[in-house]
Amino acid sequence: MAGVLVAGLFPGTGVVSAAEKRIEFNRDIRPILSDRCFYCHGTDANQRKGDLRLDARDAALEALAPGREHDSEVLRRIFSDDADDVMPPPETNLSLSAEEKEMLRQWIAQGAEYQGHWAFQPVVAPPVPAGPMVDGHETGREIDAFVTARLQEDGLTLRPVAAPARLLRRLSFDLTGLPPTPGEAEAFASAMASVAADPARRQAVVAAEVDRLLASPHFGERMASDWLDVARYADTFGYQSDVAMNVWPWRDWVIGAFNENLPFDRFITWQLAGDLLPNATRDQQLATTFNRLHRQTNEGGSVNEEFRVEYVTDRVETYGMAFLGLTLNCAKCHDHKYDPVTQRDYFSLFAYFQNIDESGLYSHFTDAVPTPTLSLATPEQEQARTLAAARVARAEAELTLERNRRRDAFEAWRAAAVPPGEGVWPEEIGRFSFDALTDGTVANALNEAEPGRVLDDVALVPGVRGQALKLSGENNVSFALGGKWTRDDAFSLALWIKPPSVMERAVIFHRSKAWTDAASNGYELLIEDGRLSAALIHFWPGNALRVVAREPLPVDAWTHVVWSYDGSSRAAGLKLYVNGREAGVEVVRDALTKDINRGGEDRLTLGQRFRDRGFKDGMVDELHLFARAVSPYEAAVLAGRPLVPPADPSAEAAGLFDHFLLAVDAPHREKLSVLRTLRQARSAAGDALPEIMTMREMAEPKPAFVLARGAYDAPTTPVSARPPEFLAGIEADAPANRLGLARWTVSRQNPLTSRVLVNRLWQSFFGEGLVRTPEDFGLQGALPTHPELLDFLAHRFMESGWDFKALVRFIVLSRTYQQDSDPPPDLRALDPDNRLLARGPAFRLSAEQLRDQALVAAGQLNPAIGGPSVDPDQAGRRSLYTFWKRTMPDVRMDLFDMAKREVCSARRPLTHTPLQALTLLNEPGFVAWSRRVAEAAAAEHPDDEAAAITAIFRRLTSQAPTDRQLAILRQLRTEQAALSGQDGTAASLAGLQAVAQAVMNFDASVMKR
């Protein structure tokens, strides 16, 4: 009997007595092969020894010799006594037990049949074992049928239903994360008492209670708690710093989705690919923040691409664990050793998750939100911004019309115009000839009060006219002028430059704090791969405009360059002129929607930038600054091209009309000034509005490759986006983007997702899943304790339209769930881990639940739902809202095994340590709450010690004390009152507080049983 029981209890662990059953590959053999053999004889071709693979029958046939055990090389090797011959080889530190060897022998004798891995087989509804409904449990009866059928094999039955108080506590924590109030407990107890004799009516009472809890807004909070672990939700970026990430609006969306019972296939689809849905709503886009919750770095000197790859990697691995229940991590560097996941599969998933315009670093020096982002403006704010933008658009259209209306004025002016020449141009605000250095400054010919400042000796060398600057790459010349230009200002710079060689990268001028450390926020003119590159940037690359000249910059020759920007925030409004002619440019980005003035000093700097490559050995001469866009005509004149007199017929072709409009014509210039004001108003309405990181697919997918050994700088074979090949294929016409992946994920083709989700929910209620490795449904993972039940639930979940609340209801209304959790001693001995489910669940409350229970008991819980995360010491908000720091998590919650939230986690360990005891006994919060509990009880029952103690006990354990417990606590109260050194009411209260403390530390309060 015991042998049979153990065999059934621990399928696949090798303790089955082989003589008793036909060997079954998935249950008996695969765990052995996977654990001891596949490392060298499995899927990874690079690791394979002796050209033998045992993971596929065809390939293994010769070595196995099915049915011919005496010819079997596999058997000969595993039974060998020769250290050089035996398998596994001694140096692997692996070995086979005698039972395992015998099992392999029998399996080969019986024909060495293989089975596909259970979790990769389609989900098919299994037949439900026949049997009577148990105790009126109509809903959930199939669960009871599967569990009972299994129990009957061992002559066991379900335990009785838990007492009402215990059952309600279990239901309340499982469905809301909160204990029942004393009122709820009383009402439930009396309702149950009134129907005690009638199982069906009892069930109706429980069902009504369950429906009440499912309708509670705290249901969403409770379910979100689990989901936040999977989603590695935290309030700070992590890596090195606890800089706020501001993603709580996504958390609130999750709570709402659970409360509204958003069908789970949509819950998944929105999070993976909400941005790709047609006419995506704000919520659908917000859901995709799921993919941006990974850690991000701002560590100076980090390689952008290295960390971008890390982020995409995290998305892939989170997807794998959250939805496929697979640990894909191994396959980043090589084919998976145990599971059929190839490195190619890994990077085919990678291809889905990398197509957003993102940076590998978040901005250390500014608070700009890493792109891509979604605006979180309120409807009123959004309306105000839209209105302001519409005003700008109208003024821009008006300006185009105005242009044509000014032709007559232009012709009149042109006839009389004096040729522009060496004098000062309108709105030219700075002119620097760089002919002399005086006390670390260079003179401004137009304004003595605004010279340039020289940092570290800059050399003067003969230039285009007089002297010029020669820069070292480390030194610079900077100006207050130009330091405050915004994206709404039109501004221009003209200068001569002489690069010494074809420069891969060099900063000519900029206004910004830094390159990657500030996401380049500001404006900049660079040389990139020998070409001029001009940009205005809020957060590079996703919120910026950049144009790059098509022609390379001449080398070792003086070239005149003009940057002319019209204040439009559009790439078309930024023009480059090279030697007086407009340069053809490629528009690299054209998506600037926010300010460019964050971080750093308000100075325009020539030749160098923090942690960027300076204009080493480059020369600069004759810098002019303009507080407006300059015309092609002026650009030509500044470059020293022959002046075309205005009256000359060819002058118009040279851009004279633009010159007239920009620099001369007062009515037009007045309209430009109005437009600038309107643009400023639009920015004022929009720049400060909150944003959140989301996914937004780029128009063109980024090329994806297998990265050798997973290294960011080692791309090899190109790959395209597709799900792992060993799982049933995606439909041919599915889009090769995240939406295609999401639809495949929730399709019937995918055997894993519904199983994985059902299993995690089961784990949430029972402490352990039906598969006890929720993060690994692969070959090394645990086999399900109740495979048919798992498949039944997974199938039913999909059939129901992924109705999550219905699934919850179905499970908690089962007789199996409602069992009492105290087993008779022999059952505990036989099944210490409750694999058979012959009793109800019993495990410690989570970190959040322990704190929330104390808050409720103290009457200090603020039941508000959602909002920004909070300092837990400041407010009686639920623990779900504790501002979660990745690098220094709240020590109290950390001690109670709260998930770290650095990476996706499918379960928390549950430990019991002395440090937890010290926390519950001495932590100021718990101490204060125990005092409040005591005070309330004393106020309610001023003259009845027993009643006061009972009230305390009820508040903290959701049940009444037994006589024995009450006696112990009364003694404690008396002793502690005496020891308190106080008298009268104070002593009495001190005694009651000690009672509250003791109960708060008592098993019945710490555990959910």
976 binds other proteins (CB under 8 A): yes
Q: Compute the distance between CA of residue 12 and CA of residue 10 in angstroms, rounded to an integer.
A: 6
Contacts with 181 (C-beta within 8 Å, 6 or more apart), sequence order: 856
Rounded to a whole number of angstroms, the distance between the first and last alpha carbons of the chain is: 29
Show contacts with other proteins in window 952-971 (CB under 8 A): 962, 964-965, 968-969, 971
Show contacts with other proteins in window 899-928 (CB under 8 A): 900, 902-903, 907, 909-919, 921-924, 927
- Beta pairing partners, 454: 477
One-letter identity of residue 268: I
Choices 5-13, 523-531, 685-693, 943-951 (CB under 8 A): range interacting with other proteins: 5-13
Residue 721 near residue 629 (C-beta atoms within 8 A)? no
Show contacts with other proteins in window 23-82 (CB under 8 A): 35-36
983 binds other proteins (CB under 8 A): no
CB of 119 to other proteins, least distance (A): 12
- Specify the length of the chain in residues: 1009
Show contacts with other proteins in window 740-769 (CB under 8 A): 767-768
Residue 362 near residue 298 (C-beta atoms within 8 A)? yes
Q: Compute the distance between CA of residue 306 and CA of residue 628 in angstroms, rounded to an integer.
A: 40
Choices 163-171, 696-704, 737-745, 973-981 (CB under 8 A): range interacting with other proteins: 973-981
Residue selected from 134, 458, 956, 990 as contacting other proteins according to rule CB under 8 A: 990
CB of 418 to other proteins, least distance (A): 46
One-letter identity of residue 188: F
Choices 49-57, 724-732, 867-875, 1001-1009 (CB under 8 A): range interacting with other proteins: 1001-1009
Query: Which CB, 399 or 966, lies closer to other proteins?
Result: 966
- Beta pairing partners, 692: 374
Q: Compute the distance between CA of residue 422 and CA of residue 424 in angstroms, rounded to an integer.
A: 7
Site mask, other proteins, residues 511-530, x = CB under 8 A? Answer: -----x--------------
239 binds other proteins (CB under 8 A): yes
For the four alpha carbons of 632, 633, 637 and 643, in that order, the dihedral sign comes to positive
5 binds other proteins (CB under 8 A): no
Cα–Cα separations (whole angstroms), residue 11 to 25, 787, 993: 11, 11, 50
301 binds other proteins (CB under 8 A): yes
Show contacts with other proteins in window 484-513 (CB under 8 A): 505
Contacts with 732 (C-beta within 8 Å, 6 or more apart), sequence order: none
Show contacts with other proteins in window 93-112 (CB under 8 A): 93
819 binds other proteins (CB under 8 A): no
CB of 113 to other proteins, least distance (A): 23
- Beta pairing partners, 544: 537
Q: Compute the distance between CA of residue 124 and CA of residue 811 in angstroms, rounded to an integer.
A: 19
Q: Compute the distance between CA of residue 815 and CA of residue 135 in angstroms, rounded to an integer.
A: 7
Angle between helical axes of 924-940 and 984-1000 (0-180°, round to 10): 120
Show contacts with other proteins in window 770-809 (CB under 8 A): 772-773, 775-776, 778-781
CB of 345 to other proteins, least distance (A): 16
Query: Which CB, 500 or 701, lies closer to other proteins?
Result: 500
Residue selected from 41, 308, 337, 679 as contacting other proteins according to rule CB under 8 A: 337
932 binds other proteins (CB under 8 A): no
For the four alpha carbons of 343, 344, 345 and 346, in that order, the dihedral sign comes to positive
Choices 425-433, 476-484, 748-756, 896-904 (CB under 8 A): range interacting with other proteins: 896-904
Query: Which CB, 470 or 575, lies closer to other proteins?
Result: 470
Query: Which CB, 124 or 303, lies closer to other proteins?
Result: 303
Contacts with 839 (C-beta within 8 Å, 6 or more apart), sequence order: 159, 819, 820, 821, 822, 823, 827
Q: Compute the distance between CA of residue 96 and CA of residue 101 in angstroms, rounded to an integer.
A: 6
- Beta pairing partners, 524: 510, 535
Show contacts with other proteins in window 173-192 (CB under 8 A): none
E runs forming strands in 348-426 = 373-375
302 binds other proteins (CB under 8 A): yes
For the four alpha carbons of 355, 359, 361 and 366, in that order, the dihedral sign comes to negative
CB of 94 to other proteins, least distance (A): 8
163 binds other proteins (CB under 8 A): no
Choices 75-83, 170-178, 650-658, 989-997 (CB under 8 A): range interacting with other proteins: 989-997
CB of 987 to other proteins, least distance (A): 12
Choices 79-87, 323-331, 545-553, 806-814 (CB under 8 A): range interacting with other proteins: 323-331
CB of 732 to other proteins, least distance (A): 32
Number of residues interacting with other proteins: please give it, by CB under 8 A.
108
Residue 832 near residue 768 (C-beta atoms within 8 A)? no
Show contacts with other proteins in window 658-697 (CB under 8 A): none
Query: Which CB, 208 or 979, lies closer to other proteins?
Result: 979
981 binds other proteins (CB under 8 A): yes
Query: Which CB, 65 or 937, lies closer to other proteins?
Result: 937
Show contacts with other proteins in window 366-425 (CB under 8 A): none
Choices 386-394, 557-565, 685-693, 829-837 (CB under 8 A): range interacting with other proteins: 829-837
Residue 244 near residue 920 (C-beta atoms within 8 A)? no
Show contacts with other proteins in window 603-622 (CB under 8 A): 611-614, 616
Q: Compute the distance between CA of residue 588 and CA of residue 313 in angstroms, rounded to an integer.
A: 26
631 binds other proteins (CB under 8 A): no
Q: Compute the distance between CA of residue 128 and CA of residue 906 in angstroms, rounded to an integer.
A: 29
Q: Compute the distance between CA of residue 835 and CA of residue 153 in angstroms, rounded to an integer.
A: 14
Query: Which CB, 856 or 969, lies closer to other proteins?
Result: 969
Residue 657 near residue 625 (C-beta atoms within 8 A)? no
Query: Which CB, 652 or 848, lies closer to other proteins?
Result: 848
Residue in this structure with the two tokens 């009686």, named with its chain if needed: 876
For the CA atoms of 431, 434, 436, 440, what is the dihedral angle to 10 degrees? 90
Q: What are phi and psi of 957, to 5 degrees?
A: -130, -5
